[in-house]
Amino acid sequence: MSRPVRSVLYLPASNARAIEKARGLDCDVAVLDLEDAVAPELKASARAAAVTAVREGGFGPRLGVRINALDTEWGAADLAALGDSGVSLIVAPKVEGAATVHAIAARMRGATELWAMIETPAAVIRMEAIAGAGGPLKGLMLGVNDLATGLGTGPSDDREPLKPWLAATVAVARTCGLLALDGVYNRIDDRVGLGAECRQGRLYGFDGKSLIHPSQIEVANAVFGITEDAARQAEDIVRAFAHPDAEGRGAIRLNGAMVERLHLEAARALLARYALEQGLP
C-alpha cells in the first residue's frame, strides 16, 4: 500500500521561504506551484527554484510540482526542466481530455507519477476518458474554484451545486484505480468550516484534501486519517471472522449488526493504512 495522501499542500515555487519551510511540514504531499501562484514574470525563476528544490531533496512530505498547462507558453518548458530532476509527482492543471494526459506522459521521464486536475465543465463531462488514459496517471484532483467559476454557480457553504461532481470524481477514480483528491478550502482562518468540508469530502470517499496554507494540515490529517476507534472496530471484524464459528460463513453478527466478508476486506485495508499512518513523521 502506498503512503497516505490526507493532506496535499500547495506552495508557490517563487517563494524561497515557503519552499524551505515545506521541508519540515507534516503534510503528506507538498506541491510546488508553477501555475496560479506564480506571476508571469516570475515563471522562469520559479521553475528553476522548483528544479533545484527537487534535486536537493530533504523534504519530509512527498514532493511534487504543478506545472503550467501545456497550451500556455510555459507548460512545455516546465516539463522539459523537470524531466531529469528526479521529481516523483507532476500535477497537471486544467486537463480536459485524454489527449492532454497522453501529451504530458510523452514528455515525462522515469517513474514520475501524474495527477490530473479536473476543474472545468469540459473536464467533468470527459472525466471517464481522462481517468482511463492510463500511463503515469495515478490521481484525479478536483479544482473546485475554477469549476465553480466555469459552471457559474453561486456561493454555498455545503457546496450544493458541486455535489454531483464530488460524487462523480470519486466514482470515476475508484473505477480506474486512481486516487481522488478534494479541492481547496479558501477561508484560511476558518478551522470549523475547513473541518466541516473535510468531513464532507471524507463522506463522499475522497482520499485527502488540497490545501493552501500550512495551518490547514492538522485538520485535514485528522479528518482523513484513521482514528484509534476505527482501527479497533476493524480489528474486531478481523478477529470475529478468524473465530472458528465464522468458518465458511459469508456474514456474521457482530455488536448487533450484520457484517459481511466485504467488510472484512475493508477492515484489513483500513488496518494496513492505519499502520502506515502511525509510521509517518
Per-residue model confidence (pLDDT) at position 269: 84
- Binding-site residue ranges for substrate: 66, 119
Q: Is the pLDDT of residue 23 over 70?
A: yes
Helix-, strand-, coil-residue percentages of the chain, each rounded to 5: 50, 15, 35
Can you give the pTM of this predicted structure? 0.90
Per-residue model confidence (pLDDT) at position 256: 85
Give 262-271 pLDDT, tens digit per residue: 888 888 988 8
Per-residue model confidence (pLDDT) at position 280: 60
Domain architecture of the chain: domains with CATH: 7-224 (3.20.20.60), 228-278 (no CATH)
Q: Is the pLDDT of residue 281 over 60?
A: no
Give 119-170 pLDDT, tens digit per residue: 999 999 999 999 999 999 999 999 999 999 999 998 888 999 999 999 999 9
Contact 136, 105 (CB under 8 A): yes
What is the C-alpha separation between 23 and 27, in angstroms, rounded?
Answer: 10
Per-residue model confidence (pLDDT) at position 108: 93
What is the C-alpha separation between 88 and 129, in angstroms, rounded?
Answer: 24
- Binding-site residue ranges for Mg(2+): 119, 146
- Binding-site residue ranges: 66, 119, 146
